[in-house]
Structure 1
């Protein structure tokens, strides 16, 4: 079986997880058959699967990356349509976690599926050996476990478990499809209860709950300790349980206690808490229920956050606790667990035992430390995996404290001794194995990370806000390095320095970084400082410098490919608009959001958007339709919710590429850049035929309609009028042609006029202070 063999997928079970998996297959552009049982009333035999698709189209965050993806989902039921499994190359079972139901389904599948069609279970608790009990040898060869994490679109981890009979080709085809087409990072787990991430995660959560009850901590303080200071998302432990559902915890506990070996440390900490049992019984199951450890309550002053008192069992106003400070708050784990008092005690109670437990799972649950670290980083969004944390804490230190408390010291800690689990040798990251030797961390073919390149090289150019790296084969990568990868004069300076360097010694440029956000746009903090001291000349210099740098990239004598992932707004979007091509990660949230802070795009984005709109195949001819389309998108600060939607909004061209797996983005962008090198010529500067004053008036009339409906404020009208003036060409008549330079001048002049407005300054201040737009 080959990767190309997976042309259609079937998902059986249209619950939240099954439907989400089906949506992600559709997001990959692959047809998927979604089946569930026939509802009891039988009036619409496909109602459950159809209802799941309809619900997903209304869900936020959206399981589908576009409405077009939803059309790839075919719905049905297992009584009438199971024979359609014969059309599919991979069948994913995502039904209720009951062995008898799963085994009954497999018996039916065996009768209808083609030989060589993969069948996998999304189970998180049932061993593979139990699932295939009673099945034929042929079925066992095609069977494996593929454990997705919820929500399937956004959680990158996929744990794969194979059995002794699983055909290697079948497993490889599923893994390759899940990796390349669905965007998953595959971690190979052993056939043990809970596999890797949920086994460690459940243990960590149980430790955190127990210790907080035993020590009399508030939920706020517990989450402040076992949260960002440990490199854990700010939900901490109690917030995470609220998110996934408090009622899920007893089921996980029951499953693990029933299946884990008698000597597993989990049995010693598995316990119920009367308060939690009461909360579940009364419907306080977290965010999906009436509330959880936290809830939002309404009073005469509006909504307020409340937290439950673990001792009293009653809600009270949430507090901001005095949590870890200094190095302990900034990721120094040794300082955290050695903090005097309840903070250090709680940190050690949670962290010490969790790291020891994780260390004990090699090789029983995972072959090596890398698999465990990847599982926790991807499945629980930890910034560092357990063994990376041990390196920061010190393996010898951890072993010593465990020994002093009379607790067992895992074999991997003894193997490490005074060494670290990871080290870099000759620019190569290596990990410590069970044999006591270091081994290379090997990336899958087609995976290229800037972090790896940095281990073996130095930047070609570097300043406070950007760096230039040689990524091989004559391709250079431009990396933004400021907070949120914000853009400033240093970025523009480095771009202008890079162009002649690349022209003389290299073939192409890729604009990329490993961070979660490509760029949050211009450095608003720097801009606000300049505004407050009325340094208008410096601001105009920054605007002009940005225009010069971006046009320098556009007309450079070599291909420039943008490779964005995550947030790419404002100036971060504008730099992409100037690239010859874009290879985007599927999770791209891009847009020109300047109107939200009382400004307009100032680095050439207006003209580039007009150019894209007038070249769009579906756009009516003439100057007004393209300008109106751009005005609608930019004036409302619209941001795409995916790369697919970015194409619909014209931020990406139809021919721009989309990479599903984040780890493959740099490689794909590099290959795209290399494919453009031979015979490359820069684009010609466009001229624009714009609608002039009549268009300006028409755009303002459209904006006035928004204002009358309460969708736009009085100052929104001022900003949209300024945008309309630029997009319509200023004072130009309809028959006039406007050069790119003329449009840039008009854009710059309009930007400088708005930036002096007190209400724009107020919007910038509010955005910096709250992260939200001011509706003044």
Structure 2
């Protein structure tokens, strides 16, 4: 059957329920959010009183940081109600998601009510993380069982990409396939098919990993700060590492999952790892549960002079102490290594206590994941997907094993007393020495059942640039240009924070030139944590300090020329940004034929934060767009002032959807890829579509209306008002007036039509003059030293 989701009902408005509702509303669906009627509220009370629980929960969610919604306007799509008065309204829903308290008896009561009103064929799922899914289906009708499964979202649902799908023996295969696809395509999730086993996949492996780390820590006599230094970004894990993560998640939650695995997995060969250490039980007794209780492994304190500080728990004395910076020779040696897989080898090869920790931890982890196949999943790639999407690991555990060498590491594990299951030996004996391999742009994974490689599902929908390394057409030390197939080129760069310097600009120019010679077009994207945080500010700072303004002028010209090359080439250029796309990273998007942005793209022109204006065509482009948006019946200055404020306040869109509201992305031209992993494939398709539709190079604009003195007067008045109200510093005023001058086309006596090059020249001159300002250099220096803007 062809199934569509037009409306969703979420039952339960707690932390997860309200945020799941917000995420569905964020993708454009109407949502019905229900919860209990407060105790002692009369049956004839007003809806506001009877819906107080759900309304308060939703309001708290919307106010929370980070926001669970892409834009504030989507809240209008959520209708609230209560289980008593509004359960009948679920009859209009196509998908009902239960997110009530983790008690089977209460869930069964809810499902009994659901059966009274749910229309046959409607999807019904539970977001439980601790109750076996099949137990919730017991006693229900055949149609309910057929359309019921677990859908385990991770918190916060907007940001954590994992969605585990857990069918029961009764779940229709069509239902499972539909939710797997829907979660991927529309919800932007990495959907992972899991078996109905305790803690499913990600929590089973993740909590084991945390308990194994604690176990190894005790053996080696390591401290909390030392372990967090060893288990964070250095091994491709989040900054919160181990113990800070535990504080955020809740130490009681960690212990609950560990106890659940120990109690419900009697055949787990490593169940002793899940035994709770005495000091951890003591923390639970003391209600030291992490952030929710104000202290856990870490505690915020104030010194005698009132300064804020963070102390760390000494697990021997259970007293909080000042933090100490860990020092390990292995860490120091590995930090300069950029490639994670190479870095892992160096860490495990370490000869100090850190190296021993890495050996013991990885051996324990590898042994555990190998034994979980086929218990929790038949496919090992699902284990890696779960950990990357749910726990923020940069690469999965099986991929880490590949990086260290499967045969070599397996031999070392056995020598150290760590067991491996027979399928590992069978795999190696058959001549297969890696869990993954890449051929012709496709990634394959070892399949235990067939003892052979199988291509990962998704195919061409999930393009990973580095998988095309063998199809490299051109490269320099910062960039690579690949042939992505179907006569489409792909350019990626891998600079720190995706910064755009001379080599990246060379890569853009060269890639466009190559595409014009014999390809249909070019996709520009990358696989780093962020698309681009902007131009290479360090280079600008050094040139400014040396007062080498000719070099700065040349650098700005090169940047502007490259942005105009993106706009005016004979082939379509499509951008696929994600994460940060700031400053120059925003400007290149402004000039693309089309942008396919990941939903979680944070973009804006932020140059005023370093005391300059957008100098790579961003100011010009905002003037051009403002001119095109001016219409009769509205003062012309209004549209321009809105664009001006966007730049002057360094406004950053907090999602790709908000970037449309901010005028960065264009309605009807640009688009959003809900799933980060699909954006490059969508961009490639957009290139092909533009080419096949008879792409013609645009003509440079010479008809851009600028307002001259009339606009300048209005803007200067606003700037001076901000200064008098102490909302702007003296240097803010200097920068803002330069920006206004450019955006109004200069000191013109009347409205005038100008060219793009005219505006680019004004933009470049303003940028150049501001680099000579002492306070601009102070701002740039602050960003380079601390990463934080300076208001001077």
Which category describes the TM-score, using the shorter chain as reference length?
over 0.9
Partners of 1:631 and 1:741 in 2: CA distance: 19
Query: Given the alignment of the two structures, is residue 352 of structure 1 paired with residue 352 of structure 2, yes or no?
Result: no
Whether the 8 Å CA contact 1:328–1:339 is kept in 2: the answer is no
Query: Given the alignment of the two structures, is residue 758 of structure 1 paired with residue 774 of structure 2, yes or no?
Result: yes
Query: Given the alignment of the two structures, is residue 10 of structure 1 paired with residue 9 of structure 2, yes or no?
Result: yes
Corresponding residue number in structure 2 for 1:257:
262
Q: CA deviation at 1:767?
A: 0.5
Structure 2 counterpart of 1:164, from 169, 178, 196: 169
- Closer, same or farther: CA 492–294 of 1 in aligned 2, 3 Å: same
Corresponding residue number in structure 1 for 2:30:
31
Query: Given the alignment of the two structures, is residue 289 of structure 1 paired with residue 303 of structure 2, yes or no?
Result: no
Q: CA deviation at 1:601?
A: 0.5
**Equivalent residue runs for 1:550-589 within 5 Å:** 550-589=563-602
Corresponding residue number in structure 2 for 1:448:
462
Query: Given the alignment of the two structures, is residue 658 of structure 1 paired with residue 672 of structure 2, yes or no?
Result: yes
- Closer, same or farther: CA 217–705 of 1 in aligned 2, 3 Å: farther
Whether the 8 Å CA contact 1:424–1:455 is kept in 2: the answer is no
Structure 2 counterpart of 1:475, from 467, 488, 491: 488
Query: Given the alignment of the two structures, is residue 524 of structure 1 paired with residue 529 of structure 2, yes or no?
Result: no
Q: CA deviation at 1:694?
A: 4.1
Query: Given the alignment of the two structures, is residue 185 of structure 1 paired with residue 190 of structure 2, yes or no?
Result: yes
- Closer, same or farther: CA 116–432 of 1 in aligned 2, 3 Å: same
- Closer, same or farther: CA 401–555 of 1 in aligned 2, 3 Å: closer
Which range is displaced more, 189-198 or 35-44? 35-44
Whether the 8 Å CA contact 1:612–1:653 is kept in 2: the answer is no
Query: Given the alignment of the two structures, is residue 542 of structure 1 paired with residue 594 of structure 2, yes or no?
Result: no
Partners of 2:136 and 2:434 in 1: CA distance: 39
Q: CA deviation at 1:516?
A: 2.5
Whether the 8 Å CA contact 1:216–1:311 is kept in 2: the answer is no
- Closer, same or farther: CA 727–76 of 1 in aligned 2, 3 Å: same
Whether the 8 Å CA contact 2:627–2:705 is kept in 1: the answer is no
Corresponding residue number in structure 2 for 1:75:
80
Corresponding residue number in structure 1 for 2:501:
488
Query: Given the alignment of the two structures, is residue 740 of structure 1 paired with residue 756 of structure 2, yes or no?
Result: yes
Q: CA deviation at 1:335?
A: 4.1
Q: CA deviation at 1:772?
A: 0.9
Partners of 1:139 and 1:545 in 2: CA distance: 63
Whether the 8 Å CA contact 1:614–1:621 is kept in 2: the answer is no
Q: CA deviation at 1:626?
A: 2.2
Query: Given the alignment of the two structures, is residue 432 of structure 1 paired with residue 446 of structure 2, yes or no?
Result: yes
Which range is displaced more, 722-731 or 586-595? 722-731
Which range is displaced more, 446-455 or 764-773? 446-455
Whether the 8 Å CA contact 1:222–1:346 is kept in 2: the answer is no
Partners of 2:465 and 2:412 in 1: CA distance: 33
Count of residues paired in the alignment = 773
Corresponding residue number in structure 2 for 1:145:
150
Corresponding residue number in structure 2 for 1:47:
52
Q: CA deviation at 1:594?
A: 0.5
Structure 1 counterpart of 2:621, from 608, 622, 629: 608
Structure 1 counterpart of 2:106, from 96, 101, 116: 101
Q: Secondary structure at the match of 2:517?
A: helix
Q: CA deviation at 1:394?
A: 3.0
Structure 1 counterpart of 2:518, from 505, 514, 519: 505
**Equivalent residue runs for 1:668-679 within 5 Å:** 668-677=682-691, 678-679=693-694
Q: CA deviation at 1:436?
A: 6.5
Q: CA deviation at 1:426?
A: 5.4
Corresponding residue number in structure 2 for 1:410:
421
Partner deviation per Cα, 1:565-608 (whole Å, 9 max, x = no partner)? 11101011011111122221111100001000011101111121
- Closer, same or farther: CA 422–500 of 1 in aligned 2, 3 Å: closer
Structure 1 counterpart of 2:411, from 388, 400, 425: 400
Partners of 2:514 and 2:345 in 1: CA distance: 44
Structure 1, unmatched stretches of 5+, are: none
Structure 2 counterpart of 1:230, from 224, 230, 235: 235
Which range is displaced more, 25-34 or 523-532? 523-532
Which range is displaced more, 507-516 or 419-428? 419-428
Corresponding residue number in structure 2 for 1:457:
471
Partners of 1:758 and 1:259 in 2: CA distance: 66
Structure 2, unmatched stretches of 5+, are: none
**Equivalent residue runs for 1:346-385 within 5 Å:** 346-385=357-396
Query: Given the alignment of the two structures, is residue 116 of structure 1 paired with residue 110 of structure 2, yes or no?
Result: no
**Equivalent residue runs for 1:577-726 within 5 Å:** 577-616=590-629, 621-655=634-668, 656-677=670-691, 678-684=693-699, 685-726=701-742
Corresponding residue number in structure 2 for 1:276:
280
Which range is displaced more, 559-568 or 371-380? 559-568
Q: CA deviation at 1:25?
A: 0.8
Q: Secondary structure at the match of 1:297?
A: strand
Q: Secondary structure at the match of 1:247?
A: helix
Partner deviation per Cα, 1:358-379 (whole Å, 9 max, x = no partner)? 1111111111211111111111
Partners of 1:383 and 1:411 in 2: CA distance: 28
Structure 1 counterpart of 2:743, from 719, 724, 727: 727
Q: Secondary structure at the match of 2:291?
A: coil
Partners of 2:126 and 2:588 in 1: CA distance: 43
Partners of 2:96 and 2:548 in 1: CA distance: 63
Whether the 8 Å CA contact 2:630–2:636 is kept in 1: the answer is no
Q: CA deviation at 1:328?
A: 4.7
Q: Secondary structure at the match of 1:57?
A: helix
Partners of 2:500 and 2:675 in 1: CA distance: 26
When normalised by structure 1's length, the TM-score is 0.95
Whether the 8 Å CA contact 1:88–1:117 is kept in 2: the answer is yes
Which range is displaced more, 226-235 or 12-21? 226-235
Partners of 1:576 and 1:406 in 2: CA distance: 54
Which range is displaced more, 286-295 or 357-366? 286-295
Structure 1 counterpart of 2:316, from 311, 316, 323: 311
Q: Secondary structure at the match of 2:63?
A: coil
Corresponding residue number in structure 1 for 2:68:
63
Q: CA deviation at 1:617?
A: 8.0
The Cα RMSD (Å) is: 2.2
Whether the 8 Å CA contact 2:438–2:467 is kept in 1: the answer is no
Q: CA deviation at 1:105?
A: 1.5
